[in-house]
């Protein structure tokens, strides 16, 4: 299918946005009015640039607050529209988006709305142009797709069609099944974005939370499948208002955006009884265990002995370990993660799959791909059943700090290449500011992405290098493991004494057990079905640290209950960690 992206979804000048979209493989763009108005190029230069990039200018948007107005206001609106028609013709665009009137004094008469849109469409037709009408979810009277379709149907003009937007329908939890009854040729354009459900806020105020398909909670697959069932032959276009993306490199956003559309096509191809006639992208399938099987660490000489001791105590230095750890000498201070490996059924197919989503193949003999920061993600074979059962600690979670604007690009990368499933966005507190995050989870591995606009937070400091800051290992007996480490001279991160006073007030723990947790600096949480024990080893010179967890019973939570305590302890321990830890490739 054809892929398009709205220019407001990308950062930078219009020229930079167009170049990023073309390089990412998009076929077209939606030209947002603000991007044109602030652009230094003439309409002719923009048209020529698009042609040179082989990028079609699909649609110009939006014309706002047009319909449902008084006769006097209609004349002014029609004059405004005629001037926009001049712009469309100069750009070589034949379709203009009109979004429903959101003014409080808009008139709600359905026939009046249709008649005024019909007059606009007739004027457009005389210039060989078309009008697409879209209901905004916060529109005064037209706020459902059915309202827009009613207006288009009443108007009865061939040059007037419907524009559908997944956000405006799904944010209201509107029933979209009736869309299947609309003739496909009457749907002029399809705009897409995913988002988390924000039940307490109207869509107008949560629209900056829009994201790529697959990262939110909307039924994107069901919605798009319904639209395609009509015979719709147009583009899949991403219209995403996002504070994150406007602060991120346009090329990174564009690459992840197009990858998300390829993923969407893949999901649509799997729909039972699919009747869509448009060809869909189907990347190579691969089964992932969602388990980290390989870890390459760079270490300086001063950290090597401590690192060896920690790995040995965790049972990660034997051939039977869950995780293969490879160490490389480095001149940079501390220990850093250079590459990861994920177990899959077919490593070569996994590499081809990553390439199908637009990610570069890894270098060297091992199959793999390249992450957004240039570091490696290796694909390793699944263990054969007859092989000896793996031993040692299991790498259960990886925490990476990323720059502002890059959360969703990284989340898309891990989602599409490892099969981990995105969850709702996270919000944590550091003593120096708020840390926002994305969590992707599988049955045996989680990857957490952190970012912050508050520069004194540890996440903001580490995000300069897009560093992996913490590796979380699950052990069968945390207290015994910490005791073994202490005998070998490895200490845990100090936790404030006040935390354990509060713990005694919240849980009915025996005094001797509470004292044990206090002495070992273990964080604690409990649910009716189980317990969660969590400790952090003293960080290396550059800030990377190993965390150890134990789940007892059927505990299903994460570290959110004690995240603020851990962040405070790390801040006390690492007040002046340098963020300049780049060592060759990766971080």
Q: How confident is the model at residue 386 (pLDDT cuts 50, 70, 90)?
A: very low
Mean of all residue pLDDT scores within the chain: 91
pLDDT tens, position by position, 75-108: 999 999 999 999 999 999 999 999 999 999 999 9
pLDDT tens, position by position, 202-234: 676 666 678 999 999 999 999 999 999 999 999
How far is the C-alpha of 481 from the C-alpha of 488, rounded, in Å? 11
Alpha helices in 477-510 (DSSP H): 478-487, 497-506
- pLDDT given for residue 587 in this prediction: 36
- pLDDT given for residue 385 in this prediction: 46
Q: Which two tokens stand for residue 197?
A: 């459900």
- 516 φ/ψ sector (left φ>0, alpha ψ -120 to 50, else beta): alpha
How far is the C-alpha of 129 from the C-alpha of 204, rounded, in Å? 30
Reply yes or no on whether the pLDDT at 201 is more than 70.
no
Give the relative orientation of helices 110-126 and 71-91 as an angle to the nearest 10 degrees.
40
- 334 φ/ψ sector (left φ>0, alpha ψ -120 to 50, else beta): left
Mean pLDDT for the stretch of residues 380-396: 71
pLDDT tens, position by position, 300-333: 999 999 999 999 999 998 878 889 999 999 999 9
- What is the side-by-side strand order in the sheet with 368-370? 324-329, 288-299, 335-344, 376-381, 368-370
How far is the C-alpha of 27 from the C-alpha of 13, rounded, in Å? 19
- pLDDT given for residue 363 in this prediction: 80
pLDDT tens, position by position, 396-423: 999 999 999 999 999 999 999 999 999 8
Reply yes or no on whether the pLDDT at 579 is more than 90.
no
Q: If you write DSSP's letter for every residue of 127-176 in order, what string do you get?
A: TT-EEEEE--TT-SS--SHHHHHHHHHHH--TTEEEEEEHHHHHTTT---
- pLDDT given for residue 206 in this prediction: 63
pLDDT tens, position by position, 335-351: 999 999 999 999 999 99
The closest of 88, 152, 475, 533 to 315, measured between CA atoms, is 475
Helix, strand counts (H, E) of the chain: 18, 22
> For residue 385, how many other CB atoms are within 10 A of its CB?
5
Q: What predicted TM-score, i.e. pTM, was given to this entire model?
A: 0.90
Reply yes or no on whether the pLDDT at 575 is more than 50.
yes
How far is the C-alpha of 257 from the C-alpha of 409, rounded, in Å? 8
How far is the C-alpha of 381 from the C-alpha of 466, rounded, in Å? 27
Q: Compute the Cα dihedral for 162, 167, 171, 173 and give only its sign.
A: positive
Percent of the chain with pLDDT over 90: 78
pLDDT tens, position by position, 141-155: 999 999 999 999 999
């Amino acid at each position: 299918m054809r892929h398009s992206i709205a220019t407001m979804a990308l950062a930078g000048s219009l020229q930079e946005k167009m170049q990023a979209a073309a390089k990412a493989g998009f076929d077209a763009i939606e030209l947002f009015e603000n991007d044109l108005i602030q652009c230094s190029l003439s309409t002719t230069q923009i048209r020529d640039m698009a042609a040179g990039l082989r990028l079609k200018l699909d649609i110009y948007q939006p014309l706002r607050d047009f319909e449902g107005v008084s006769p006097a206001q209609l004349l002014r609106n029609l004059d405004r529209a005629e001037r926009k028609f001049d712009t469309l013709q100069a750009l070589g665009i034949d379709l203009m988006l009109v979004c429903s009137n959101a003014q409080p004094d808009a008139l709600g008469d359905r026939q009046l709305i249709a008649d005024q849109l019909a007059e606009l469409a007739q004027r457009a037709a005389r210039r060989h142009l078309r009008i697409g009408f879209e209901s905004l979810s916060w529109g005064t009277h037209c706020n459902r797709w059915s309202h827009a379709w009613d207006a288009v149907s009443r108007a009865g003009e061939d040059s007037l069609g419907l524009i559908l937007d997944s956000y405006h329908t799904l944010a209201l939890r509107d029933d979209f099944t009736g869309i299947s009854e609309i003739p496909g040729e009457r749907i002029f354009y399809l705009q897409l974005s995913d988002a988390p459900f924000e039940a307490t806020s109207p869509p107008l105020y949560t629209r900056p939370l829009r994201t790529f398909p697959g990262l939110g909670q909307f039924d994107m697959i069901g919605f798009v499948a319904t639209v395609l069932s009509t015979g719709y032959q147009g583009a899949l276009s991403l219209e995403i208002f996002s504070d994150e993306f406007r602060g991120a490199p346009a090329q990174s956003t564009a690459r992840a955006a197009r990858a998300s559309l390829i993923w969407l096509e893949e999901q649509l191809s799997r729909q039972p009884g699919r009747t869509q006639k448009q060809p869909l992208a189907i990347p190579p399938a691969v089964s992932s265990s969602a388990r980290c099987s390989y870890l390459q660490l760079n270490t300086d000489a001063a950290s090597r002995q401590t690192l060896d001791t920690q790995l040995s105590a965790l049972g990660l230095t034997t051939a039977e370990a869950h995780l293969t750890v490879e160490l490389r000498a480095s001149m940079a201070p501390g220990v850093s993660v250079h590459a990861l490996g994920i177990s899959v059924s077919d490593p070569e197919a996994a590499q081809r799959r990553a390439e199908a989503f637009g990610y570069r193949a890894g270098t060297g003999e091992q199959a793999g791909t390249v992450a957004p920061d240039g570091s490696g993600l290796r694909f390793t074979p699944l263990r054969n059943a007859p092989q000896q059962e793996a031993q040692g600690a299991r790498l259960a979670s990886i925490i990476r700090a990323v720059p502002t604007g890059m959360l969703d690009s990284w989340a898309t990368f891990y989602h599409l290449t490892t099969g981990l499933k995105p969850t709702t966005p996270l919000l944590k507190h550091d003593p120096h500011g708020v840390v926002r995050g994305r969590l992707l989870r599988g049955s045996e591995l989680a990857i957490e992405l952190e970012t912050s606009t508050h520069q004194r937070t540890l996440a903001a400091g580490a995000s300069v290098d897009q560093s992996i800051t913490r590796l979380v290992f699950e052990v069968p007996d945390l207290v015994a493991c910490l005791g073994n480490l202490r005998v070998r001279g490895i200490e845990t991160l100090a936790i404030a004494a006040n935390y354990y006073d509060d713990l005694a007030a919240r849980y009915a723990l025996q005094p001797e057990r509470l004292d044990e947790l206090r002495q070992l600096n273990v964080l604690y949480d409990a649910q009716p079905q189980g317990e969660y024990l969590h400790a952090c080893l003293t960080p290396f010179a550059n800030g990377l640290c190993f965390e150890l967890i134990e789940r007892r019973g059927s505990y299903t939570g994460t570290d959110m209950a004690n995240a603020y305590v851990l962040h405070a302890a790390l801040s006390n321990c690492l007040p002046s960690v340098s963020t300049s830890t780049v060592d060759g490739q990766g971080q």
